[in-house]
């Protein structure tokens, strides 16, 4: 005699079967409550922490009973499009967690807002399937970092790295967009271990221009090395190796040194972001420094070693590939 096994282990996360008001419905009563039916019983605490409504409203009650959830609000809903965001990570009563979020819209007005913002999230120029985009207001505030600002919307990238904010107001309000790679896949930004990027422009949506699309947010580690490359021609008459140096403007920071190949092509492959000065010389005195050399036919005569310095400061950004215009050494 053995006790029943209870069947196979539950590995299927809960799914939404029905939601009221239905997605994209209009004319919803401002006193309406939200009801959600799931495919199985839920862990109530994990769910409550992941219900987000835009614009922000105060919850009066979130009642979780089995596979049914009822959400009531403290006050009347605003007369606009409501975005209902159920963030991934909530679980059923066997602690099987969801790995994707759900997003629904309904309007307490006669129609849904028409504005839309779409784009793609990349990480080091590669599609970021774990990318998350956030929308905030462009109004002045006292927050030190954009990720501390209140969210207006959230959108998770799909398998192509694409995100979208739909049904936005077109009243000329300004929006700021930022995105991060959700490395730990918890749906939240972790400032200590995840990288983010802020879209440089404020986006304004109007009745005539209700969409802003087809742009890329390319997230890069701010310390990601870049590449500087170029070519230098030796016109000095000396058949000697050229030394090309990259000196950081900040004296206490690392500099770099390379020698060109037989065609004069040189390449600095792991340049940390910053400002640099580039120079090249032929080390005729063999002391690893640009200076003077002695005339081989008359030891009483010394000459400055042939060299050249680029007049402008070179700024290298994270992961940037920068090509320097061709240099001529000894052509003066």
Q: What is the pLDDT of residue 237?
A: 84
Nearest Cα neighbor of 159 from 91, 100, 115 is: 100
Please check whether residue 125 lies inside any domain of the structure.
yes
Residues with Cβ within 8 Å of 31's Cβ and at least 6 positions away in sequence, in order, are 76, 77
Query: For residue 127, how far is the Cα from the chain centroid?
Result: 11
Range of the domain at 96: 16-107
Q: What is the pLDDT of residue 189?
A: 94
99 and 119 housed in the same domain: no
Please check whether residue 4 lies inside any domain of the structure.
no
Could you say which of 107, 129, 154 is where a domain stops? 107
64 and 94 housed in the same domain: yes
Please check whether residue 23 lies inside any domain of the structure.
yes
In the chain (332 residues long), the average pLDDT of successive 10-residue segments reads 60 93 97 96 91 95 95 96 94 91 95 97 92 92 85 94 96 95 90 92 95 95 93 89 92 90 94 94 77 70 83 92 92 55
125 and 84 housed in the same domain: no
Nearest Cα neighbor of 165 from 54, 65, 292, 314 is: 54
37 and 119 housed in the same domain: no
Q: What is the pLDDT of residue 230?
A: 96
Residues with Cβ within 8 Å of 115's Cβ and at least 6 positions away in sequence, in order, are 165, 167, 168, 169, 170, 205, 210, 211
Q: What is the pLDDT of residue 50?
A: 93
Q: What is the pLDDT of residue 330?
A: 81
Domain count, the chain: 3
Nearest Cα neighbor of 153 from 82, 99, 80, 79 is: 82
99 and 149 housed in the same domain: no
Q: What is the pTM of this model?
A: 0.76
Token digits of residue 67: 């596979």
Q: What is the pLDDT of residue 304?
A: 76
Total residues found in the chain within this entry: 332
Nearest Cα neighbor of 161 from 195, 118, 200 is: 118
Could you say which of 219, 254, 278 is where a domain stops? 219
289 and 231 housed in the same domain: yes
Please check whether residue 8 lies inside any domain of the structure.
no
CATH of the domain at 197: 2.60.40.10
Could you say which of 86, 107, 128 is where a domain stops? 107
């Amino acid at each position: 005699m053995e006790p029943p096994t209870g069947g196979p282990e539950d590995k299927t996360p809960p799914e939404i079967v029905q939601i009221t008001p239905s997605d994209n419905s209009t004319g919803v009563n401002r006193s309406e409550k939200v009801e959600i039916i799931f495919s199985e019983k839920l862990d109530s605490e994990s769910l409550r922490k992941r219900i987000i409504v835009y614009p922000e409203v105060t919850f009066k009650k979130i009642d979780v009973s089995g596979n049914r959830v009822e959400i009531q609000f403290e006050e009347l809903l605003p007369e606009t499009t409501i975005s209902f965001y159920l963030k991934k990570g909530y679980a059923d009563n066997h602690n099987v967690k969801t790995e994707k979020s759900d997003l629904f819209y309904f309007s307490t007005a006669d129609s849904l807002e028409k504005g839309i913002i779409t784009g793609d999230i990349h990480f080091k120029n590669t599609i970021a399937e774990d990318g998350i985009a956030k929308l905030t207001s462009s109004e002045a505030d006292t927050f030190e970092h954009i990720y501390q600002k209140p969210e207006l919307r959230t959108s998770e990238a799909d398998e192509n790295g694409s995100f979208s904010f739909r049904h936005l107001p077109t009243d000329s309000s300004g929006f700021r967009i930022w995105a991060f790679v959700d490395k730990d896949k918890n749906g939240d930004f972790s400032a200590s271990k995840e990288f983010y990027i802020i879209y440089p422009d404020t986006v304004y949506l109007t009745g005539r221009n209700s969409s802003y699309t087809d742009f890329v947010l390319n997230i890069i580690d701010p310390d990601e090395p870049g590449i500087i490359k170029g070519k230098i021609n030796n016109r000095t008459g000396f058949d000697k190796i050229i030394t090309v140096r990259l000196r950081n403007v900040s004296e206490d920071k690392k500099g770099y040194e390379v020698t060109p190949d037989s065609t004069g092509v040189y390449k600095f492959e792991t340049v940390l972001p910053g400002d640099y000065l580039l120079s090249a010389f032929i080390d005729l005195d063999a002391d690893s420094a640009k200076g003077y050399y002695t005339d081989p036919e008359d030891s009483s005569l010394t000459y400055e070693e042939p060299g050249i310095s680029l007049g402008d400061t070179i700024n290298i950004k994270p992961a940037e590939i920068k090509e320097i215009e061709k240099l001529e050494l000894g052509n003066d």
